[in-house]
Amino acid sequence: MKKVAIEDMARIRALGNLTLSPEGGRIAFTVKTGKADLSGYDTDIWVYDEAHEPALYRLTSGGDGSAPVFCGNDAVVFSADRSREKKDGPKLKTAYYRISLNGGEAEELFTLPMPCSSLEPLGDGRWLALGKHSLSLPDFTKLDEAGAADLKKTLEDEKDYEVFDELPFWANGMGIVNKWRGGLYFCGPEAGAVELLSERELQVMGFALTKDRAAAACWGTFYEGDVNRNRARLFVYSLAGSAADIKASAKEIALPEGFTISEARFVSGRLVVLGTRGERMGSSQNDGVYELAPDGALRLLCEPDITFGPVGADVAGGGSSFEADDALYFVRNEGYRSFYEKMELPGCSVSVVSGDLEIVSAAVGTDDIYMIGMEKDRPQELYRRKGGKLEKLSSFNEDYVKEHEIASAEHFVFKDREGTEIDGFILKPAGFDESKSYPAILSVHGGPRSAYGQGFFHEFQYWAGRGYVIFFCNPPGSSGKGDAFADILGEKFGVRDFNAVMDFTDEALKRVPQVDPARVAMTGGSYGGFMANWIIGHTDRFAAVASCRSISNYVSKLLTTDIGYYHNASQMGRDPWNGAAMLWEHSPLAYADRVKTPTLFIQSDEDYRCWMGDALQMLQALLLHGVPARMCLFHGENHELSRSGKPKHRVRRIKEITEWFDRWTAEK
């Protein structure tokens, strides 16, 4: 059996973007694999169709297929960049291709004159698209060929500087977003018939369609005037007639003061919205379920205090975790598990549809449900639940699992010093020998509204293959156990959670006495990066720490990052003008003069969620105080480095951490 290698994260296939054919029975999805030279990823579209031989087959082979959607029952439309034009500068158009499931090559369907992230058919050659436009540049949809060339030259001339005059001015994974907006667009059957339906100032976050494609809802954020206070907006459209007719039909739905929207879907023709006013926990609060009543008012149906969404993984594809038909279907994180569940409305009764897997995303058919999920300690595959029976439909990663040593995560529950029950996990190396001494790694997840589960984590498996015991848990602050469990807001931040993580470490060492307490390392990213920086200022028990996506100074975090000014301010309950002392007290940088632990910092220079300024401050503080410290700064990467960064960068990241830990946890 082979040991898991660093490069394997690029060999393991990640599935995503499930889309079901209108008549059911056919499912299309993407499969992503790292390129051979680790410079990027190849993404192709696959189809599962029982009537086809074989039932599972690859539809595209260009390595650039994304965002598939069925156009009728026999063809798939997808976006791809197959032009030979120079790709420097911002992308200002999106090409879509159509490929028949009955055979043949993909043919270009149309090119939309703006960057697009999703497309949905309305029938009769009519489409809705989620695109982008700039408030400070000419309307892309109105430019002729000469105008487009002039705009491209202007952007090339101005590429050396940016202007910031609103919040947010940048966003993780999107880059500079100042004066850029997402918009809902209507695309007609005539060439060039593209019209913006939503308000030009509105930042559209998503849209939903009725099953018969007769109506749509779109929601987003409106940046109000000079104060830049964000306000959610929600609109409903009738999709009959021309673009002008659709635009004229727009009806804005009144929302409660301070309301935020996470998702919306039509259930049996009625709009259902997931959102919250955040009265108890601000932007950290679990969503309530609302319904658009016949009188046009948004009415609260229930506040189930559940986490919508899957548990974490480091090799995973994307896709929606929400569907709707006669009921609301969703992936739910409960504790350390993720289930697929069904909520009947308006009563909000919830039942489990599938609890056999760690579900990532799903698509609901008439009498079957297709799911991307992970069995315990296994990478993703495609599954179907039909007639109460779960079937595994793919074997993309089966050969990999058969050929490699895969360690099994052991789950246990313990109580911390406050009596709170916490889910913990221990991953031992394959061939664990009780007579030997082992080094260990404690890992803390990001969020903190996130959760570890029992699915496949490549970096954990790699470290286990090198002889490390891996500890990880879901401390207070994590998702899946309701708002009360997740409450580490304000003065509790860095106290309740830190104590629980230390209690967990003590418990893990009791359960695995073969671990040498002097050879335990620790790592974490984002919130886990906060905890890494906090730990080294409050204890010397760890031999080494790797802090990824650092948070070190809550004053700078609030004033430099894309979510600092609203989410982190809500999380801490303070801002620099009415609580600077409290923010500093809960900032790891305040305790940097106490640090003795050798610390590695992993940072990306385009991470606008946890900007590099915090990592640089912590690095300099440690070097000034004579602490062994090192930073590896990745150019062109963002907050998602460990999950979707270039494979060669992800390899270097794990190599840096591993070599740092090997150095400081070596037997003396």
What's the pLDDT score for residue 88?
59
Mean pLDDT within 18-30: 93
Task: Tell me the sheet residues that pair with 69.
Answer: 77
What's the pLDDT score for residue 192?
62
What's the pLDDT score for residue 85?
59
What's the pLDDT score for residue 191?
59
Cα separation, 212 vs 22, whole angstroms: 10
Mean pLDDT of the chain: 93
Q: In what order do the strands lie in the sheet with 298-302?
A: 260-267, 270-276, 288-292, 298-302
According to DSSP, residue 179 is labeled T
Q: Identify the band that residue 87 occupies on the pLDDT scale cut at 50, 70 and 90.
A: low
Looking up residue 419, the CATH number of its domain turns out to be 3.40.50.1820
Q: Identify the band that residue 181 occupies on the pLDDT scale cut at 50, 70 and 90.
A: very high
For residues 405 and 4, is the Cβ–Cβ distance under 8 A? yes
Q: Tokens representing 247?
A: 């635009």
Q: Identify the band that residue 86 occupies on the pLDDT scale cut at 50, 70 and 90.
A: low
What's the pLDDT score for residue 315?
81
Cα separation, 288 vs 67, whole angstroms: 29
Q: What angle do CA 176, 177, 180 make, to 5 degrees?
A: 140
Q: How far is CA 1 from the centre of its chain?
A: 33
Q: Mapped to the 3 state alphabet, what secondary structure does 190-228 carry?
A: CCCCEEECCCCCEEEEEEEECCCCCEEEEEEEEEECCCC
- The residue range of the domain holding 638 is 407-665
Instruction: Say yes or no to pLDDT of 228 above 60.
Output: no
548 within a domain of the structure (yes/no): yes
What's the pLDDT score for residue 89?
61
279 within a domain of the structure (yes/no): no
Question: Who wins on pLDDT, 399 or 141?
Answer: 399
Q: Tokens representing 116?
A: 């697009």
222 within a domain of the structure (yes/no): no
Mean pLDDT within 83-112: 83
Instruction: Say yes or no to pLDDT of 90 above 80.
Output: no
Instruction: Say yes or no to pLDDT of 370 above 70.
Output: yes
What's the pLDDT score for residue 158?
84
Mean pLDDT within 168-193: 90
What's the pLDDT score for residue 230?
61
Mean pLDDT within 446-462: 95
pLDDT digits (tens, 9 = 90+) for 308-347: 999 988 887 777 788 888 999 999 999 999 999 999 999 9
Instruction: Say yes or no to pLDDT of 226 above 50.
Output: no
Instruction: Say yes or no to pLDDT of 253 above 80.
Output: yes
Residue type at 467 in one-letter notation: G
Cα separation, 369 vs 385, whole angstroms: 5
pLDDT digits (tens, 9 = 90+) for 125-169: 999 999 999 999 999 888 888 888 888 888 888 888 999 998 899
Cα separation, 547 vs 633, whole angstroms: 12
Mean pLDDT within 631-640: 97
pLDDT digits (tens, 9 = 90+) for 523-553: 999 999 999 999 999 999 999 999 999 999 9
What's the pLDDT score for residue 227?
46
What's the pLDDT score for residue 151?
87
639 within a domain of the structure (yes/no): yes
Mean pLDDT within 365-382: 92
Element (H, E) at 181: strand 180-187
Q: Where are the alpha helices (H) located in 385-436, listed in sequence order?
A: 398-403
Mean pLDDT within 586-596: 98
Of 56, 30, 26, give the one whose Cα is nearest residue 44. Answer: 30
23 within a domain of the structure (yes/no): no
Cα separation, 600 vs 619, whole angstroms: 8
Domain count, the chain: 1
637 within a domain of the structure (yes/no): yes
132 within a domain of the structure (yes/no): no
For residues 409 and 423, is the Cβ–Cβ distance under 8 A? no
Please identify which residue in the block is written with the tokens 């995503």: 16
**Residue 594 Cα distances to 295, 547, 620, 650, angstroms:** 61, 17, 14, 31
Mean pLDDT within 277-294: 94
357 within a domain of the structure (yes/no): no
Q: What angle do CA 112, 116, 117 make, to 5 degrees?
A: 150
